[in-house]
Structure 1
């Protein structure tokens, strides 16, 4: 039986805005959002991703915690918001991060991010014996190195000294909440992204804990996404310039909140997000996993569950081709990053759909959904002497969407046919990519006017948690925006190319393993930077 969600407290009518804090992979963004859903101001603070050796992807947790404080201070200053106007702070956060904490509350490790692939062997081991799929069906977290379950298992097997010193295994939002409140709490949505949380019982899963080699007490206390934290430490209030104790809604993951922010509470509509990575998500009324383990299933509230799949290579693939071709673009003249990006879009627009038969499998950082193959690599197929740089750009953009189309097909297997896609993220700024999305998927695509989906979702959840709204549907319109209908001729071209794309990918399975092994063999510890 599911645990009841916390009763919602009442609020002061003079408290007119929610301060949403979205902790992302490359930056933390703070937003001031009105009760009517208007974004008054935003402020982002960036931080680096460290790759100390191949397959690793880490960040400094203290740096991210400071970024959250800085973003809040600056957005309040920009919007000229007084603390008396703030109803609550509400969090959104990236998923799958892991930090080992000692008994004194100090981190023993960096923040190991979703992009980290060190646990490939542990994943393959559980896939081979079938236990991974069994755990997936109970937890909803795909069998992939991103999952904290496999990261902990890796640590137990390869870093025993740190493993034995660890009192708590937490994620980045838990780290921030601990700094603010001296409490280890994790919301149900982030808990259900760990691979350690039972979807039906909303408790830590005993078999998953056994596989990880840890006990329940080494994890944070699971709480509803609507849980309100009070008693902020005086030192944190001082850093934020606050004099009163502002309630903090523990919030949820960026993925489920993006669906909420886009107004997607219907399984016939799906969100498509492309930032650094990409994702497709729809919303169900009960937890449901995919028969082959293609999709995640994460909790939003007891009434809403988000299913879908994330791909590793979204905007990062376009950034790669931009960096690769920058000399050709600039022709000796300095250009800003935005100017370079605009040029790439021009090249793509000048190139026919299908890039004259050039395909790109853009798996430069391995892949998650639907195959969860960390050893997958990037490929250009069909190259001829007639192909130019502009074909490469178009092929990369199409390849990203081919991968998302594969996820869309898996989503439809669980939730039924989709009638609309709502797209957000950095790619939504590209008119070419927008139309391409509709043409490849064959589904009408809406680009909402406001694309701060995860931050808006956090604000909506905050209003619900504080009792301002009686349901998650805050009544904000998400129908306004630019609509892209399917170009039938272009869709037919992509319908012909997709089976070829899939065939190339499937035949490369063993080769992916071999080339990855070769790449790892060339790594020298003394080359670490």
Structure 2
């Protein structure tokens, strides 16, 4: 009896999931940690809290596996997925000089705008596949050079959160091609650090980790770490990749016309291509899964984190009721939203509470309820919020289709795919068949599938259908789609009209 563990390091939690070799979930454990936002533009994690969450989630899964008859030798490997774009500065002794600055941090937005509007910035995008935006480590480094030069002088390495985990486990500075390709510093054509980008950031390759394939294997835990995790010290750790790239693999969306759509804290829609491709308007990314598989798509900054915001600000009745009934508060909120008709009676929501990435790439963008009148209730605001998140991803999909061709089927994953209501909205807005796999933890499953390839258990990705069984299928309602198309035409026109005002109001917010 063998199993593997996929570890998905996210923005607000780390989840470890144990899968048997047929792709079925055996056990899972999620450990949360706070997203540190002391000021409006800040978005950081405590790297040591994240590292401890990795240890605790793996330990919980191995403990659960032992209760069902698995031995130490039964664990075939542990493979990793991680959120992209984080940046941590370490000194020469490996001590933290900064927290983990996450994708959602927008302090570098002014420098990002300067780079984006330059010829050098366009060339960097074309070679690295990473849109120029405050999310990227490139822009974060330029900001640090300008705002905290003394810190930069002390820095020995600039790494991501997953690199920090591997450094703490093995004492090695290693980065997979997938995470590297989301830094804005990595040439996706040569698979090396890109000198013009490094020059813009004011660093050398020695400041960065060694780029390696996502299938790279490391062994040799300390006895203390192995004991804590409940694993053999020589268990293989597979480097893995970025969460978005692995979500496509873990949902089976690897063929032409197949897209994976994820909504977790943030959201994204992606397709897989045999070669990199960039967009003349710089709307989409081009990241690496393997040298034969490139993941093209776009991320939105505002996913289910907005539902959490709504819960905290307006959802006190559901929060209390959920406690009383021992139910999920989000299930109760979605039930409230389902009462309101499609289109929320003419209420639209621009979901830009965290600024926005694709397709507008504007850190100044802000949230807007549009069309509000006295007949609208709290439930209308909730329905419009959910639809606004999906409209944002729909706009990314339209940009992606212009570059990569039509999308036929969408595989939905992430926490939002656990329920029916929001997924049906997705089908109606996109007017596409939506497939939900048995495990919505597609990034963790994708990490496991990648690990299986690394260990020689599977030869390629073309035969993975048996590992990602489809649990549910949703078909669009044409009448609902017609309503959404009318509203989307208005939604699409709002941002261009408000762009300059967004910049002005952001300046007043500080």
Instruction: Specify the TM-score bucket, using the shorter chain as the normaliser.
Output: over 0.9
Q: Name the structure 1 match of 2:47.
A: 61
Partner residue of 2:410?
A: 421
Give the corresponding residue for 1:283: 272
Distance 1:118 1:57 in 2: 9
Aligned 8 A contact 1:351 1:390 in 2: yes
Q: Does 1:369 align with 2:355?
A: no
Gaps of 5+ in 2: none
Once the two structures are TM-superposed, the CA of residue 63 in structure 1 deviates from its matched residue by: 1.3
Distance 1:469 1:462 in 2: 9
SS of the aligned residue for 1:356 comes to coil
1:26 and 2:12 are equivalent in the alignment: yes
Partner residue, 1:485: 475
Question: How many residues matched?
Answer: 506
CA distance 1:336–1:222, shift in 2 (3 Å): farther
Aligned-pair CA distance for 1:154: 0.7
Distance in 2, Cα, partners of 1:127 & 1:418: 29
For the residues of structure 1 that align with 2:431 and 2:375, how far apart are their CA atoms? Answer: 29
1:456 is aligned, of 420, 425, 445, to 445
1:303-452 to 2 correspondences below 5 Å:
303-327=292-316, 329=318, 335=324, 338-452=327-441
Please give the per-residue CA displacement for 1:320-368, whole angstroms capped at 9, x wherever unaligned.
2222322465799965794542332222211111111111111111101
CA 1:59/1:330 → structure 2, altered by over 3 Å: closer, same or farther? closer
Aligned positions of 1:126-525 closer than 5 A: 126-327=115-316, 329=318, 335=324, 338-477=327-466, 478=468, 480-520=470-510
Measure the CA separation in 2 of the matches of 1:337 and 1:123: 45
SS at match of 1:437: helix
Cα distance between partner residues in 2 of 1:510 and 1:244:
56
Tell whether the 8 Å contact from 1:263 to 1:473 is kept in structure 2 after alignment. no
Q: Shift of the alpha carbon at 1:131? A: 2.5
The Cα of 1:479 is off from its aligned counterpart by 5.0
Q: Identify the range of structure 1 (273-282 vs 325-334) with the bigger mean alpha-carbon deviation.
A: 325-334
Distance (Å, rounded) in 2 between the aligned partners of 1:241 and 1:431: 37
The answer to whether structure 1 residue 43 and structure 2 residue 29 are counterparts is: yes
Superposed, which structure 2 residues align to 1:60-79 within 5 Å?
Answer: 60-79=46-65
Match of 1:8 in 2: none
User: Per-residue CA shift, 1:213-243, capped at 9, x if unaligned?
Assistant: 0001110000000111123234422432444
Mapped contact 1:76–1:82 kept (Cα < 8 A): no
Counterpart CA distance in 1 for 2:325 and 2:500 is: 41
TM-score by length of 1: 0.93
Distance 1:247 1:327, change over 3 A: closer
Q: Distance in 2 between matches of 1:332 and 1:432?
A: 20
Instruction: Answer with 364-373 or 320-329: which moved more.
Output: 320-329
Answer whether contact 2:86 2:103 (CA < 8 A) is retained.
yes
Q: Partners in 1 of 2:321 and 2:170 — Cα distance?
A: 53
**What is the SS of the residue equivalent to 1:107?**
coil
Deviation at 1:17, TM superposition (A): 1.4
Whether the 8 Å contact between 1:460 and 1:474 is mirrored in structure 2 is no
The answer to whether the 8 Å contact 2:221/2:233 transfers is no
Does residue 1:112 correspond to 2:101, yes or no? yes
Give a deviation string over 1:263-302, Cα, whole Å, max 9, x none.
1111301011111111101111111112211111110011
- With over 3 angstroms needed to count, the CA separation of the structure-2 counterparts of 1:460 and 1:473, relative to structure 1, is farther
Q: Which residue of 2 aligns with 1:94?
A: 83
Distance 1:62 1:365, change over 3 A: same
Hey, what's the Cα distance between the residues in 1 that align with 2:420 and 2:291?
A: 37
CA-to-aligned-CA distance 1:170-211 (integer Å, 9 cap, x gap): 001111111111110000000001000001000000000000
Query: Structure 1 residues 200 and 398 mapped into 2: Cα distance closer, same or farther (>3 Å)?
Result: same
Q: Are 1:424 and 1:448, in contact at CA under 8 Å, matched by a contact in 2?
A: yes
TM-score, normalised with respect to structure 2: 0.96
Residues 180 and 46 (structure 1), Cα distance of their counterparts in 2 relative to 1, 3 Å cut: same
What is the correspondence of 1:76-87 to structure 2 with a 5 Å cutoff?
76-80=62-66, 81-87=70-76
Residues 250 and 358 of structure 1: CA distance in aligned 2, closer, same or farther (over 3 Å): same
* Residue aligned with 1:292, SS: coil
Secondary structure in 1 matching 2:464: coil
Contact 1:237 1:243 in 2 (8 A): yes
Distance apart, 1:260 and its partner CA: 0.3
In the aligned structure 2, how far is the partner of 1:428 from the partner of 1:151?
32
Give me the whole-angstrom Cα distance separating, in 2, the residues matched to 1:328 and 1:217: 54
Query: Distance in 2 between the 1:345 and 1:231 partners?
Result: 46
| Partner residue, 1:9 | none
